[in-house]
Structure 1
Amino acid sequence: MSESGDLMRVLLLTFFHGLGHVVRTARVGSALVDAGAEVLVGTAEPARHIMTARGLDSFPLTELPPFPPREPGEEPPPPPDGRIRLADPEYLTTCLAEERAAIAEFRPDMVVSDFRVTGAVSAALEGVPAAWIVNSGFFEFPFPQVLRDVVPQLIELGVPEETARRVLGDVLYIPDWSRFDPLSGIASRESGAALGSLAEIRHVGPVLKEAPDRAPSRAEARKRLGVDADVPLVYVSLGGTAQGYGSLTTIASLLGSVPAHTVLVTGPNIPPERLPAHTADTVLAYTEDSMAWTRAADLVVTHGGHTSTMEALCLGTPLLALPGHAEQEWNASRAVSLGTGEILPADAVADAFLPTVTRLLDDQGLARRAREVGEALADRDGAAELASHVLAFASLSALARGAS
């Protein structure tokens, strides 16, 4: 337990620029505070307002710049040395220095990282237990690249090999149910070996911005958002990074032909002015009301990010996924397996988007199945379960250290 002897201290470290990581971390922070912990969050400066809105103390972390928007069909430039950006030695050195300084000053009982690849390593170097929050789709992409590129670079920077290889720390929290995010689906041999180093893997249920059973009803959400109760509504959000720009550019001009009121959220890294040809009825760069829009909508168009997919499932809204990589396809397949949505491959978006959206809006069976799934999933709060386990694990770890 912390030196004050009264409150457990938890340091949260989150990766940016994907908003899902940041929003999820903020929700966990709130749950930890509610459970009686003292919380400090490290995140990139542009995301700190999300922590402030939650009443959480935070400090800035250096983060990689966002990917620049790419035109439809444009491939990302290959890294100069063939490695993922996260393996940049200057970036890793800075991350370790900032994180270790925060640990030394805050003296947490546990460090919890949401895909901040150095978080658990920094914790181990400071003698503090650590955990990761990540959905199992990441163990297909991009986690194998983290093991192949980041871990050797950490060793080259002087991190002991055993510590560098335990990049996941002690506990893995999967913000989902095993039914939708099974470990048996992980085919990567590198990831399987890394999972074997953990003390515990725990499925805690979805960690959303709010507990699903506290979300407003569809009628309440529409009233709050100013949407007519009887008008069909399509909510489009392809993530907080700029990686969905190609698909967003393709569909933006088609939204005016969708037989519904369309709401387009571009994300903080794609200014709305980058989409001058859009025909959406409402355009937002960012919204704090993603769950309200999802509840109010008749259809959600998403990139297949884990948070947006689980919001649609838990709130009972059909979805159409336009995934950009394997992890997003993995997430979207969870919804498709329950008959609550469809996946549209990138090469089919231009021709199939409009007829697919029109068909899904008319499918009352799809809407009914989505509502049934939402009702079944709405009574479990992954953030509260995660927070409870963090405090129990940290307490037992402190007792073990005191006895040694």
Structure 2
Amino acid sequence: MSRFLFTMLPANDLGLPTRLVPIARALADRGHDIAVFNPAPAPAKLIAEAGLRNLPMPQRAMPHPPFDLGKASQAWDVEEMYASLFSDEEFVRANTALHVDLIRDYQPDVVVDSFGVFACLAARIRGVPLTTINQGNFHPASDGFLFWKGKRPTNLPSAVSFFNTVAAEYGIGPFARSVDLLAGDLSLIVGTPETDPVSPTARVTHIGPIVWQRGNAELPAEIALLNSGKPIVWVYSGNPRYAPVPTAIDSIVVIRAAIAALADEPVEVVLTTCYQEVPAEIGTLPSNFHHAAYVPGRAMAERSALMVHHGGHSSVMQTLAAGTPAVIIPTITERESNARRLVALGAGEIVLPIDGPDEEKQIDIADFAAKIRRVLDEPGYRASAVRVSQSMRSFGGAELAANLIEQLAATKEAS
């Protein structure tokens, strides 16, 4: 049996662990030794629910993060996003060393990563085979987040100089772009060529949708027993607040918009918040709203007539895999990219927010309400979502990913 270490950008959101946990669980069920690394609170709960081992944060002094979330929310692509998050040499050096320690101590046969650039660099430093599992617009061979605007401008910032300085200290590199680190020895794309296109010359394998739900998972009783005959709208905000003060990437706008548009309407609204509580500033929810911090995603999507969410890639995969249409309020350019792909497939609508005071996002509630009613009333949206769902079934999902990762481990053992 082999040892596999699953790593990711440790954001307090469920998108990245949702795509990795099913694969990690599949390999664990085959008898392999599995460890995951994401100490953030919400991912840690998901990892524990899956019965997987989550490694603790290594004891190492870390510099203050240099994050500019406003710039990250408007990034053209991964390269510019990383420039807004990692443009500090000491931060890159410390996080690389942390992941080098992690890999050295666990001694995996393969590192399996999603969007965790420091783990990708550390795997190369340690000479450990690397599998990357990302959405299409994270891959170096994609057209970026703002693909509809044409060619990427040439003057956008990059953090690659910081990564190259640190890489050189370990005797590797240089790299042309920091995003190039996200291409592994094995590169798997969550989604299909239709939902997540990359260059046809890229060395990637599309594995279809990856969504997490334990086989015996059930909806909370209050939700499972809803039988008013009204359509069920699942509102998923992701993490409503990433910090004690508003930030440019918060998704509380999704909750506010849903309340403004759907309170007392003839629908049942299920609101879930990424293992978070509803922010106190929201106040009492309307009588037709039912809150659960977390629900089994596949069961909830299949029960719903419509999903409203923030445009996270895993949310898009959840709704498309279930054949359920969506109305999306994308809170950053990466999520807008995902939303535009779904709209192009005919499986939903998009409502773009604008930045209000103090980085709080706002939307046109009348436009949002009209698009919700349109998607609920016009059968073409569901028909398109069902078509995409059926096309996705020809891809191998978590089991195919597990097979390919095992093969990479076997190649290492044979060499």
Match of 1:236 in 2: 235
Write the letter of the residue equivalent to 2:98: E
Match of 1:354 among 363, 369, 372: 369
* Residue aligned with 1:131, SS: strand
* CA deviation vs aligned residue, 1:251-280 (integer Å, no higher than 9, x gap): 333321432011222335674313126536
Q: How many aligned positions are there?
A: 367
Q: In the alignment, residue 203 of structure 1 is paired with which amino acid?
A: H
Deviation larger for 342-351 or 200-209: 342-351
**TM-score, normalised with respect to structure 1:** 0.79
* Structure-2 change in CA distance of 1:85 and 1:373 (3 Å): closer
Partners of 2:277 and 2:174 in 1: CA distance? 38
1:307 and 2:314 equivalent? yes
- TM superposition shift of 1:230: 2.4
2:206 matched residue in structure 1: 203
Is the CA contact 1:10–1:112 (under 8 Å) kept in the aligned structure 2? yes
8 A Cα contact 2:237 2:273, kept in partner = yes
Displacement over 6 Å in runs of 4+: 62-65, 67-70, 214-217, 220-224
Instruction: Provide closer, same or farther for how the CA distance between residues 387 and 233 of structure 1 changes in structure 2, counting only shifts above 3 A.
Output: same
Structure 1 residue 334 displacement after superposition: 3.2
TM-superposed CA distance for 1:368, in Å, is 3.8
2:397 aligned residue (382, 386, 390): 382
253-262 or 117-126, which moves further after superposition? 253-262
Indicate if the aligned counterparts of 1:35 and 1:387 stay in contact, CA closer than 8 A: no
Q: Distance in 2 between matches of 1:228 and 1:285?
A: 17
CA distance in 2, matches of 1:89, 1:309: 35
Partners in 1 of 2:322 and 2:25 — Cα distance? 21
Kindly state the Cα deviation for residue 149 of structure 1 after the two structures are TM-superposed.
3.6
Which of 43, 48, 69 aligns to 2:38? It is: 43
One-letter amino acid of the counterpart of residue 24, structure 1: R
Q: State how far apart, in whole Å, the 2-side matches of 1:318 and 1:215 are.
A: 25
Match of 1:261 in 2: 268
Instruction: Give, in angstroms, the shift of residue 163 of structure 1.
Output: 5.6
| Corresponding letter in the other structure for 2:408 | F
Alignment of 1:5-404 (within 5 A): 7-15=1-9, 16-46=11-41, 47-61=43-57, 83-139=83-139, 140-141=144-145, 148-157=157-166, 158-160=169-171, 162=173, 166-168=180-182, 169-184=184-199, 200-210=203-213, 225-228=224-227, 230-240=229-239, 242=241, 243-268=250-275, 271-276=278-283, 278-279=285-286, 281-284=288-291, 286-347=293-354, 349-378=364-393, 380-400=395-415
Q: Which runs of 5+ in 1 are unaligned?
A: 1-6, 77-81, 186-191
State the Cα distance separating 1:138 from its structure 2 match.
2.7
What amino acid does structure 2 have at the position aligned with 1:207? Answer: I
What is the percentage of aligned positions where both structures have the same residue?
Answer: 25
Letter in 1 for 2:294: T
Q: Distance in 2 between matches of 1:376 and 1:201?
A: 19
Moved more, 365-374 or 332-341: 365-374
Shift of 1:396: 0.9
| Distance apart, 1:222 and its partner CA | 9.0
Query: Counterpart of 1:14 in structure 2: which amino acid?
Result: M
When the two chains are superposed, the root-mean-square deviation of aligned CA atoms in Å is 3.5
State how far apart, in whole Å, the 1-side matches of 2:337 and 2:291 are.
Answer: 27
Rounded to whole Å, the distance in 2 between the matches of 1:109 and 1:125 is 14
**Corresponding residue of 1:188:** none
Measured against aligned partners, the alpha-carbon deviations of 1:77-96 in whole angstroms (never above 9, x if no partner) come to xxxxx941234444433322
- Structure 2: stretches of 5+ with no match in the other structure: 75-81, 147-151, 242-249, 355-362
